[in-house]
Structure 1
Amino acid sequence: MTIKIENCHFELHTSGAAFWKDKNMLLISDVHLGKISHFRKFGSAVPQKAIAKNFSELTKLVEHFSPAKIAFLGDLFHSSLNAEWDLFEEWVNLVTSEIILITGNHDIISPLKYEELNIKIQPMLKIGNFRLTHHPEATTADFNICGHIHPGFKLNGKGRQQLKLRCFYKSQNQLILPAFGEFTGNHYLKPKEEDQIFAITENEVILVN
Structure 2
Amino acid sequence: MTQEISILGNTFTLHPSGGILWHEKKMLLIADVHLGKISHFRKHGSAVPLKAVSANFDQLSRVADYYQAQSICFLGDLFHSSLNTEWKLFEKWVQSREEQILLIAGNHDIISPLKYDSLKISTYSEFQSKGFLLTHHPEEREGFFNFCGHIHPGFRLGGIGRQVLKLSCFFKTENQLILPAFGTFTGNYYLEPKSGDQVFAVTKNEVIQVC
For this pair of structures, how many residues does the alignment match? 209
Return the offset for 1:62.
1.3
Q: Answer yes or no: is 1:43 the counterpart of 2:45.
A: yes
Q: Answer yes or no: is 1:114 the counterpart of 2:116.
A: yes
- Aligned mates of 1:169, 1:139 — CA distance in 2: 17
Q: 8 Å contact 1:75–1:106 — kept in the other structure?
A: yes
2:187 is paired with a residue whose SS is: coil
Give the gaps of 5 or more residues in structure 1: none
Which of 62, 86, 89 in structure 2 is aligned with 1:87? Answer: 89
- The residue aligned with 1:168 is 170
Q: Answer yes or no: is 1:76 the counterpart of 2:78.
A: yes
Letter in 2 for 1:196: Q
Deviates more, 1:68-77 or 1:134-143: 134-143
1:23 is paired with a residue whose SS is: coil
Letter in 1 for 2:133: R
Return the offset for 1:61.
1.1
Which of 63, 66, 70 in structure 2 is aligned with 1:64? Answer: 66
- Aligned mates of 2:200, 2:141 — CA distance in 1: 22
Q: 8 Å contact 1:3–1:9 — kept in the other structure?
A: yes
- The residue aligned with 2:23 is 21
TM-score, normalised by the number of residues in structure 1:
0.99
Question: Counterparts of 1:169-208 in structure 2 under 5 Å?
Answer: 169-208=171-210
2:160 is paired with a residue whose SS is: coil
Q: 8 Å contact 1:140–1:173 — kept in the other structure?
A: no
Give the gaps of 5 or more residues in structure 2: none
Provide Cα deviations, 1:24-45, integer angstroms capped at 9, x if missing partner: 0000000000000000000001
Letter in 1 for 2:80: H
State, as a whole percentage, how many aligned pairs show the same letter: 60
Return the offset for 1:140.
2.7
Return the offset for 1:184.
0.3
- The residue aligned with 1:152 is 154
Return the offset for 1:141.
1.1
- Aligned mates of 2:18, 2:114 — CA distance in 1: 28
Q: Which runs of 4+ in 1 moved over 2 A?
A: none
